[in-house]
Amino acid sequence: MDKLPRPVRILLGVSGGIAAYKSPDLVRRLRERGAEVQVVMTAGAARFITALTLQAVSGQPVRDALWDEAAEAAMGHIELARWADAVLVAPATADFLARLAHGHADDLLSTLCLATSAPLFVAPAMNHQMWANPATASNMALLKDRGVTILGPGEGDQACGETGPGRMLEPDQLAELTLSRLSAERVLSGQRVVVSAGPTREHLDPVRFISNRSSGKMGYAVAQAARDAGATVILVSGPVGIDPPAGVEFVAVESAQQMYDAVHRALVAADIYIGAAAVADYQAPAVAAQKIKKSAEKMQLELVGAPDILVSVAALTSGRPFVVGFAAETENVEENARAKLTRKRVDMIAANRVGDGLAFDCDDNSLLVLWAGGREEIASCGKPELARRLVALIAKVRGSRRRTGAVAAVHG
Ligand code: CTP
């Protein structure tokens, strides 16, 4: 785990499967590796294992009810959701995974999973037929797509006497996988990242503006992934219909000029700039003070160039961050994106095909990421997962660039 100033905090969710008998061992394995563990059980789990056992090994009172006034007074469920650096549900039963996939919040554990912005890990444990059932398979695909990490299941003898995939991984393996994955995910620990997102609005008069269909989902997912990777994040956003992720500094803007100003203010001491906004290329030379009246059959709009934020950041001569742009293309994606990489002098460009219902305002997307001397395709998946992979790639390319830069400096 990256050097947090305190132990890593794992919220361990135990749902009602026979593998719950291994949960006390899992708590011990996590604690052995330096983690602080808070256990939350479902009602089903309490039929397999007692809260007292888990309290004894975790050293913390175990939580099992959403409506427990005394426990809520000590640490409310939202506070608990914020407390966690990661949530690990082990064992995760078929029923719990179904409830998680469908966003239920009918007990404390499912509510916490919905309320937390921490990375979520699940260790499925069930009969092999239940695991193979298409309902379970589609729930798993949904969860994976949303960025949930699925640990296992393992294969072998099952408590029901049958053999096949569905066994919970062993506690030692689960502890190791969770903590090493967390450490691998905190690739931007201590870095300052500025993300711009959403559309801009270029006003023509007090009631009209020109804008575009950007939903902001990709940029918001990137801001969240950068935060999860340990960065301090400032999100500068045009008007969108979604809430900013918790734990990022948020700056709301409307026009390209406002976004330009806000981004440059936010860039002080920034390490990385990710321009995911769909910024207007043109703006009105001046906003009419009064509503423009209908006066003729035809009208012509005159527009002038809006500032190109990405180009301006890439051109900074002092305090220039690592600059990542996006390229929305309707045709010749790779060729156009490569041209943009060179023309805008950015370090990396993430290109996607737009139009025909693709990319804008939808939940799935795929990206072709290009940089000088490299390319990587990130296949279609949900935007949170896509953002997580993009952030990991940014950290990798930037890291290797800095290492070779350091070597060049030594030799130069
Ligand atoms: N961008 C910007 N400021 C602008 C226009 C674009 O910062 N005024 C950034 C976007 O945030 C994105 C990248 O430039 O990271 C590419 O945006 P895109 O719309 O694909 O390209 P354009 O520069 O508008 O070029 P074209 O319209 O010719 O494709």
Candidates 113, 160, 362, 381; catalytic one: 160
pLDDT of residue 107: 96
Contact 93, 126 (CB under 8 A): yes
How far apart (Å, rounded) are the C-alpha atoms in residues 150 and 195? 28
pLDDT of residue 70: 84
Ligand 1: residue whose CA is nearest its atom 16 = 327
Q: What is the pLDDT along the chain (412 residues), one digit of tens a residue?
A: 444 547 889 999 999 999 999 999 999 999 998 999 999 999 999 999 999 999 999 999 999 998 888 888 888 888 899 999 899 999 999 999 999 999 999 999 999 999 998 889 999 999 999 999 999 999 999 998 888 999 999 998 888 888 889 999 999 999 999 998 888 778 898 899 999 999 999 999 999 999 999 999 999 999 999 998 889 999 999 999 999 987 899 999 999 999 999 999 999 999 999 999 999 999 999 999 999 998 888 889 999 999 999 999 999 999 999 999 999 888 999 999 999 999 999 999 999 888 766 655 666 788 999 999 899 999 888 888 899 899 999 999 999 887 776 444 433 3
Q: At 250, which amino acid appears?
A: F
Contact 200, 254 (CB under 8 A): yes
Most informative mutation of 202, 260, 261, 308 for ligand 1 (most atoms within 8 A of CB): 308
Ligand 1: residue whose CA is nearest its atom 4 = 308
Ligand 1: residue whose CA is nearest its atom 6 = 279
Contact 166, 124 (CB under 8 A): yes
DSSP-assigned beta bridge partners for residue 121: 88, 149
How far apart (Å, rounded) are the C-alpha atoms in residues 168 and 13? 14
Closest by CA position to 164, among listed 153, 150, 151, 149: 153
Q: At 367, which amino acid appears?
A: L
Ligand 1: centre distance to CA 327 (Å): 7
- What residue ranges line ligand 1, CB within 6 angstroms? 256, 275, 277, 279, 281, 306, 308-310, 325-328, 340
192-285+300-403 matches 9-182 in CATH topology: yes
Token couple for 107: 């007990």
Contact 182, 119 (CB under 8 A): yes
Token couple for 321: 């961050």
pLDDT of residue 169: 96
How far apart (Å, rounded) are the C-alpha atoms in residues 214 and 404? 36
pLDDT of residue 164: 87
Atom of ligand 1 nearest to the CA of 325: 15
- DSSP states of 319-381 as a string? S--EEEEEEEESS-HHHHHHHHHHHTT-SEEEEEE-BTTBSTT-SEEEEEEEETTEEEEEEEE
Sign of CA dihedral 103, 106, 112, 115: positive
Q: At 369, which amino acid appears?
A: V
How far apart (Å, rounded) are the C-alpha atoms in residues 143 and 14? 18
Ligand 1: centre distance to CA 218 (Å): 15
Alpha helices, DSSP H, located in 237-332: 256-266, 309-314
pLDDT of residue 319: 93
Ligand 1: centre distance to CA 183 (Å): 34
How far apart (Å, rounded) are the C-alpha atoms in residues 82 and 69? 19
In this structure, CATH architecture of domain 192-285+300-403:
3-Layer(aba) Sandwich (3.40)
How far apart (Å, rounded) are the C-alpha atoms in residues 320 and 69? 51
Contact 156, 126 (CB under 8 A): no
Class of the domain covering 9-182: alpha beta
Most informative mutation of 210, 281, 282 for ligand 1 (most atoms within 8 A of CB): 281
Most informative mutation of 340, 346, 352, 360 for ligand 1 (most atoms within 8 A of CB): 340
How far apart (Å, rounded) are the C-alpha atoms in residues 25 and 172? 8
Token couple for 52: 């007292």
Q: Domain boundaries in the chain?
A: 9-182, 192-285+300-403
Token couple for 281: 């290329």
Atom of ligand 1 nearest to the CA of 311: 7
Is 362 an annotated catalytic residue? no
The 3-state DSSP class for residue 16 equals coil
How far apart (Å, rounded) are the C-alpha atoms in residues 123 and 92? 5
Ligand 1: residue whose CA is nearest its atom 20 = 327
**CA–CA distances in Å: residue 105 to residues 42, 124, 144, 263:** 12, 19, 19, 37
Closest by CA position to 185, among listed 233, 147, 235, 218: 147
DSSP type of residue 170: P
How far apart (Å, rounded) are the C-alpha atoms in residues 244 and 260? 19
